Amino acid sequence: MERLTEEQIVKAVEKAEGWKRDGKWIQRRYKFKEFMDGVHFVNRIAELSEEANHHPFISIDYRVVTLKLTSWHAGGLTDLDFELTAKYNEIYETL
Amino acid sequence: MERLTEEQIVKAVEKAEGWKRDGKWIQRRYKFKEFMDGVHFVNRIAELSEEANHHPFISIDYRVVTLKLTSWHAGGLTDLDFELTAKYNEIYETL
């Protein structure tokens, strides 16, 4: 999958609710009522990452889970990263 | 639980295999063969954290899980932090 152009990235970030650009990365902080809710979310994200063979950087800071995505093989952001932001948001909404 | 003295911290870090001091924090990087092995480890750590009501900062960077500990209420490191490093190491050894 090819790296997106600057223009494509700007448009894609606009559509990715809650996600912010950080150079070659995009990231979002997800907040939870309880620590274990965040842990359950991470488990869902992990399963999806294995299926997609694309693994975000994940951090758990008590009740806040941060996900960061980039495509190493492409040296930047690709369509796959933005497909995953949409899926991650969907999982968050259904929890 | 009271904050440990500098001398106590130095001794405790020496005994905590794989753990390094970083100011008010201690941290260790745990490596795994597979991404999901790291995720299972995080689940075990999360359960223990809930039981102890003491939550480390957790990050998952593909097959590397990093744990960071401090005691906010004490403004630094306490005995509890070092009790947990021993338990985390034990969980890692049994996986």
- ipTM here: 0.96
Contacts of B67 in chain A (CB under 8 A): none
The nearest CA of chain B is from the CA of A36 a distance in Å of 7
CB contact under 8 A, B60 and A59: yes
Q: Which of B27, B60, B61 to mutate to test the interface with A (most CBs of A within 10 A)?
A: B60
Two structure tokens written together for A31: 């907040």
Q: Is A36 on the interface with B (CB under 8 A)?
A: yes
d(CA B16, CA B86): 7
Main-chain dihedrals φ then ψ at residue B12, nearest 5 degrees: -65, -40
Q: A39 CB near a chain B CB, below 8 Å?
A: yes
Confidence of residue A3 (pLDDT cuts 50, 70, 90): very high
Whether the CB-CB separation of B9 and B60 falls below 8 Å is answered with no
- Tokens representing A17 are 């609710």
Q: Taking the model in full, what pTM does it have?
A: 0.96
Statement: residue B1 has pLDDT above 90: no
Instruction: Give the pair of three-digit tokens for residue A28.
Output: 């979002």
**Cα separation values, A14 from A19, A25, A79, A82, B22, Å:** 8, 14, 14, 11, 37
H-run or E-run covering B81: helix B79-94
Q: Which residue of A has its CA nearest to B55?
A: A62
A25-73 pLDDT per residue, tens? 999 999 999 999 999 999 999 999 999 999 999 999 999 999 999 999 9
Question: Which residue carries 């590397």 as its tokens?
Answer: B64
The 10s digit of each residue's pLDDT in B22-48 is 999 999 999 999 999 999 999 999 999
